[in-house]
Structure 1
Amino acid sequence: MNHASLNPPISKAIIDRGSKDYTVRAGSILTLLTDLALEGDLEGLSNAYLAYVAVFPDDANRVAGAVPAKVLNQYLYKNEECSVRAIEAWQARSPDWAETVKEAVERPAHFVALVGDMLRTIKGLDC
C-alpha cells in the first residue's frame, strides 16, 4: 500500500498504532473512526478501516468489532440526533444489526447503503 496516497488522518492513525497516547494498540484508528462517524463520513470511516487493516491485518477483527458502537453512538445518536426510543425500537426488530454492520465495514458502498437504510428505518420510527 502506498501511504503517500492516504489522507493525513489515516496516515497518522497508521503511524500512531501502539502509541502511548492511547490505552489500546489500535487506539489511533479507533479515535479516527469515532471522529468520522460523528462527522457523518461513513464512506471515510470504511475507507480508513480498510487502509488500516491492510497494514495491520491482525487488528481487523478488534477494530471491526468497534464499528457498530461508533455507528450507534456517534452517527445515529449524535450526528443524526435519533431518539433513544426509536433506536431501541429498531434494535428490538433488528437483533443482528451489530454483526451486519461489522461485516459491511469492509465494503464502503455497501456500508454506506446499509447504514443509510438503518437510519431511514429509525427515522420512520420517530427519530
Structure 2
Amino acid sequence: MKYQIGRNIAGGGELPEDKEGSRVTAQRKARIKAGWTEIKVWAASHDDVQKIREFSEELRMNTLRHNIRQIGRSRNTPPEVIDLAVKAISNQGSNEYTTPSGATLTLLTGLAQQNRLNDLNAVVDMFRVAHPGNVRFVSASVPAKVMSSNVPHRLDLRAAERIMRWQSAHPDWAKQVEAALETFTLEEWAERAVAEMQAIDLA
C-alpha cells in the first residue's frame, strides 16, 4: 500500500474529474512540487493497515497545523485569523460544503468583506502548503471575491459604473489578482486599482 507522508494529503474533487488517472497524476505532481515525499509502507495485517492510517492522519494534521501557523506568523497574520485558517483548511473535503475547499472559500469571502486582504493573501499561502493540488481552484476564486466583496465598499455611490469602465480597460485584471497572490501584494494591487477607478471621469 502507498502512503504519502508529508505536509498534507490534498482533498481532491476540484481538479479535472473526467479521468481518475488524470486527477491522481495532477495531485501527485502538485504534491511533489510542494516538497512532499512519497513512500511505500508494507502492512503485515489488516490491523496494521488501520494503525498506519491513524498514525498517518495524526501526523498529517500535526504537520498541517504547524505549517499553517508558521506561515501566519511570517506574514504577521493576527492569531485569530490563523486559528480560523487552521479550522477551515483542516475541514478540506467536508460534506458541509458543495466543494472540497468550501470552508476555506467561505473564510476568504469573509476576509474580503472585512477589507483584510493581507490576511486573505496569507490564508491562500497557508492553503497552498496544505493542499497544493487544490490551490489553483482556490486562487482562481479570489479575483471575483475581491471585485464583488471588497472593491465596491472602497468606492463611491457610482462604484458599479467605475468597476465596469475599469474592467473594460483592464481585461487581464483577474490574472493580475492571481499574480498578486503569488507575490503577497494583493492589498497593494487593490489600492492601485481602487485609486484608478476613483480617478475615472464619469461626467
TM-score, normalised relative to structure 1: 0.90
Q: What aligned pairs does 1:25-64 form with structure 2 within 5 A after superposition?
A: 25-64=100-139
Moved over 4 A (4+): none
**Alignment partner, residue 172 of structure 2:** 96
- The sequence identity of aligned pairs, in percent, is 28
Q: CA RMSD in A?
A: 1.8
**Alignment partner, residue 106 of structure 1:** 182
Confirm whether residue 80 of structure 1 aligns to residue 154 of structure 2: yes
Name the one with the larger helix percent: 1
**Alignment partner, residue 20 of structure 2:** none
- Alpha-carbon distance in 2 for matches of 1:18, 1:105: 23
**C-alpha distance after superposition, 1:43-80 (max 9, x if no partner):** 00000000011110001110110010001000012x32
- Alpha-carbon distance in 2 for matches of 1:122, 1:72: 12
The one-letter code of the counterpart of 1:75 is: N
- Alpha-carbon distance in 2 for matches of 1:22, 1:107: 29
Q: Which has the larger radius of gyration?
A: 2
Gaps (5+ residues) in structure 2? 1-63, 73-81
Gaps (5+ residues) in structure 1? none
Aligned partners of 2:68 and 2:130 also within 8 Å:
no
- Alpha-carbon distance in 2 for matches of 1:126, 1:73: 21
Other structure's SS at 1:23 match: coil
Confirm whether residue 18 of structure 1 aligns to residue 90 of structure 2: no
Identify which of 192, 198, 201 aligns with 1:117. Answer: 192
